[in-house]
Chains A and B, each alone.
Chain A
Amino acid sequence: MAERTLRGKTAIAGIGETTYYKHGQSPDSEFKLALEAIVKACEDAGISPHDVDGFASYGNDRSDGPRLASALGIKELRFSNMFWGGGGGGVCGAVGNASAAVATGMADCVVAFRSLAQGQYARYGRSSAASAVGGDDAFLFPYGVMSPAQRFAMKVTRFMHETGIRQEALRAISLACYHHAQNNPNAVMRGRKLDEAKYDASRWIIEPFFHLYDCCQENDGAAAVVVVPAEQARDSRHKPTFLLACGQGCDHRSAAPVHNMPNYPSSHFRQIAPRLYDMAQLKPADMGIVQCYENFTGGVLMSLVEHDLVKAEAANEFLVKENLIAPTGKMPLNTSGGNLAECYMHGLELVIEAVRQIRGTAINQVKRNDAAIIIGGPMVTPVSSIILGSEATL
């Protein structure tokens, strides 16, 4: 039986993103934003949108595949896929699912995308107006546990308690993201510099580890990537970016009700990460490019530890701003600004930035740009991560 792997079989041939807006400020509808990102990604790949034959998304995206296919005049939709779960847990899973479809011949050209206009629909940071709640929410909402931050805060409290990692490590993550955004014309937080004093003085969203600047933005926008067979990408105008591995899912019983998952203080990558590196045939130290989804900085910290990019016992020492910024840092992180400072595009902006880094066209270009790890949606379940690489990694 042939080896079962996605390694090197597909590539991201095109990337596209809209202008990113603060929530409520997009002049265009969410669906139009989706179309714009997809058309731009196709242009970048040098293909016609008519030749797309699949869509993969996540986070219950409202722009569904059949409607997109009809609007774009796609000849035949062969793959229409949604990754279960909320938030950005599925961002890398959607890219992985698109790759799986292409690698197995179910489709030839699949777009993984996310479109999100929180100003036009519900905001993630506000509770719904429901008067009665059932299921898990019945044991949380009446106690004032409603928003994503409130659902995850106690994981972070416990993690910091067990590891002894301090607030300054979280601050360094935030400072690095804001630092990178200052050079990025499409970053919503460009022009809004952040330093240690401003971070420390920022208001509490939740004590003891969620300052304002530990929390992502809420935005409007859309982003898309085009996944094609590896051979086709080699013939395209860009330096090809290959998918080396995808890991997705969740730890043992990580969705156990009312905060009863056995491994509680976790971003839920402990079982996924080793599988990811195995498929890529690479090690954590090989990752010159690290893009890690920030819903909250505590999730980034746990993700870095669970992907063995930082040892918990070394985190206080290693997680300082100088180590996390391009081009000089030892581990440049979220080099376009990420969810905190570029745009909360549910992490797809992180995938796009990794492609730019591998191509060598990023604004904050890193030196070691052959392999990239992208980590999606820590602390939700399920979660996902991918490793991308240049031809040199194959």
Chain B
Amino acid sequence: MSSTYLPNGLPTPSSAPDGLAAPYWEGTRQGKLRIQKCSGCGAWQWGPEWICHRCHSFELSWHEINGKGRIYSYQRPHHPVHTALNGHGPYIVVLVELPDYGNIRMVGNLLGDSTQIVTIGAPVEAVFEPHDNADPPFTLVQWRVV
């Protein structure tokens, strides 16, 4: 069984060209899930941005969070749009909201049987998926039903 949910060969994540997302990707390599929090007004913010959309502070810090969420929406793509997915069959993508952090949302795959019934509202937790053989190595955050 493969150690990654999707086959190798898909585009890999990079924090280039501006480094804005570098703390996130450095964190996942260490098994830490981090998002931005505004030092000015305390708002959680995701994805990475340079400024707080509420108070316009540029002082955004990175905080480790628990990986507890619930499924907000999902899709099960069948048609391969990338050669790495040819013949792979359907897979599940979930949009997960994190109630403990202002309901910010994260995108990932739902681990397990790709034909499973997906329930909106179901609780899920984050799972780190290292891609150690990639150049450079990176770690994705995936989700599984609790």
Pair B82/A204 contact, Cβ less than 8 Å: no
Pair A206/B49 contact, Cβ less than 8 Å: no
Q: Does A208 touch B at the CB level, under 8 Å?
A: yes
Pair B17/A154 contact, Cβ less than 8 Å: no
Distance of A148 from chain B, by nearest CB (Å): 9
Most buried by A among B11, B76, B79, B138: B11
Q: Does B61 touch A at the CB level, under 8 Å?
A: no
Pair A143/B76 contact, Cβ less than 8 Å: no
Pair B106/A258 contact, Cβ less than 8 Å: yes
Residues of A within 8 A of B105 (CB): 258-260, 264
Pair A154/B48 contact, Cβ less than 8 Å: no
Residues of B within 8 A of A207 (CB): 75-76, 78, 90
Residues of A within 8 A of B138 (CB): 142
Give Cα A258–Cα B95 distance, bound, in whole angstroms: 9
Q: Which of B11, B13, B81 contacts A150 (CB 8 A)?
A: B81
Closest A residue to B46 by beta carbon equals: A260
Pair A158/B120 contact, Cβ less than 8 Å: yes
Give Cα A127–Cα B6 distance, bound, in whole angstroms: 15
Give Cα A390–Cα B52 distance, bound, in whole angstroms: 47
Q: Does B40 touch A at the CB level, under 8 Å?
A: no
Q: Does A71 touch B at the CB level, under 8 Å?
A: no
Residues of A within 8 A of B14 (CB): 132-134, 138
Pair B72/A158 contact, Cβ less than 8 Å: yes
Give Cα A139–Cα B11 distance, bound, in whole angstroms: 11
Distance of A207 from chain B, by nearest CB (Å): 4
Pair A144/B15 contact, Cβ less than 8 Å: no
Q: Does B93 touch A at the CB level, under 8 Å?
A: yes
Distance of B73 from chain A, by nearest CB (Å): 4
- Please report which residues of chain A, range 127-165, place their CB below 8 angstroms from some CB of chain B when the two chains form the complex: 127-128, 130-147, 149-150, 153-155, 157-158, 161
Pair B120/A161 contact, Cβ less than 8 Å: yes
Interface size on A (CB < 8 Å)?
A: 44
Most buried by A among B13, B53, B78: B13
Distance of B45 from chain A, by nearest CB (Å): 8
Residues of B within 8 A of A133 (CB): 11-14
Give Cα A31–Cα B34 distance, bound, in whole angstroms: 47
Contact with A along B130-146 (1 / 0, CB 8 A): 00000000101000000
Distance of B19 from chain A, by nearest CB (Å): 10
Pair A204/B79 contact, Cβ less than 8 Å: yes
- Please report which residues of chain A, range 237-293, place their CB below 8 angstroms from some CB of chain B when the two chains form the complex: 253, 256-260, 264-265
Residues of B within 8 A of A146 (CB): 11, 81-82
- Please report which residues of chain A, range 192-211, place their CB below 8 angstroms from some CB of chain B when the two chains form the complex: 203-208
Q: Does A4 touch B at the CB level, under 8 Å?
A: no
Pair B10/A132 contact, Cβ less than 8 Å: no
Pair A157/B73 contact, Cβ less than 8 Å: yes
Most buried by A among B6, B77, B82, B85: B77
Q: Does B74 touch A at the CB level, under 8 Å?
A: yes
Q: Does B108 touch A at the CB level, under 8 Å?
A: yes
Residues of A within 8 A of B6 (CB): 142-144
Give Cα A155–Cα B73 distance, bound, in whole angstroms: 8
Pair B11/A154 contact, Cβ less than 8 Å: no
Q: Which of A131, A150, A158 contacts B77 (CB 8 A)?
A: A150
Distance of B104 from chain A, by nearest CB (Å): 6
Distance of B26 from chain A, by nearest CB (Å): 13
Closest B residue to A125 by beta carbon equals: B81
- Please report which residues of chain B, range 85-102, place their CB below 8 angstroms from some CB of chain A when the two chains form the complex: 85, 90-91, 93, 95
Q: Which of B11, B72, B78, B120 contacts A142 (CB 8 A)?
A: B11
Pair A206/B108 contact, Cβ less than 8 Å: no
Pair A204/B78 contact, Cβ less than 8 Å: yes
Pair A153/B75 contact, Cβ less than 8 Å: yes
Closest B residue to A147 by beta carbon equals: B81
Residues of B within 8 A of A208 (CB): 75-76
Residues of B within 8 A of A264 (CB): 72-73, 95, 105
Pair A145/B107 contact, Cβ less than 8 Å: yes
Given A131-B12, A132-B11, do A140 and B53 touch, yes or no (CB 8 Å)? no
Give Cα A264–Cα B103 distance, bound, in whole angstroms: 12
- Please report which residues of chain B, range 1-57, place their CB below 8 angstroms from some CB of chain A when the two chains form the complex: 6, 10-18, 21, 25, 46-49, 53
Distance of B141 from chain A, by nearest CB (Å): 9
Given A127-B81, A153-B75, do A143 and B109 touch, yes or no (CB 8 Å)? yes
Give Cα A132–Cα B105 distance, bound, in whole angstroms: 23
Distance of B28 from chain A, by nearest CB (Å): 11
30 A/B residue pairs, CB under 8 Å, sorted by A = A126-B82, A127-B81, A132-B16, A133-B13, A134-B13, A134-B14, A134-B17, A138-B13, A139-B106, A139-B107, A142-B6, A144-B6, A144-B77, A144-B85, A147-B81, A149-B77, A154-B74, A155-B73, A158-B73, A204-B90, A205-B78, A206-B75, A206-B76, A257-B47, A257-B48, A258-B47, A258-B106, A259-B105, A260-B104, A264-B72
Known: A132-B12, A138-B15, A161-B73. 9 other contacts (CB 8 A): A133-B13, A134-B14, A150-B77, A150-B81, A153-B75, A158-B73, A158-B95, A208-B75, A260-B105
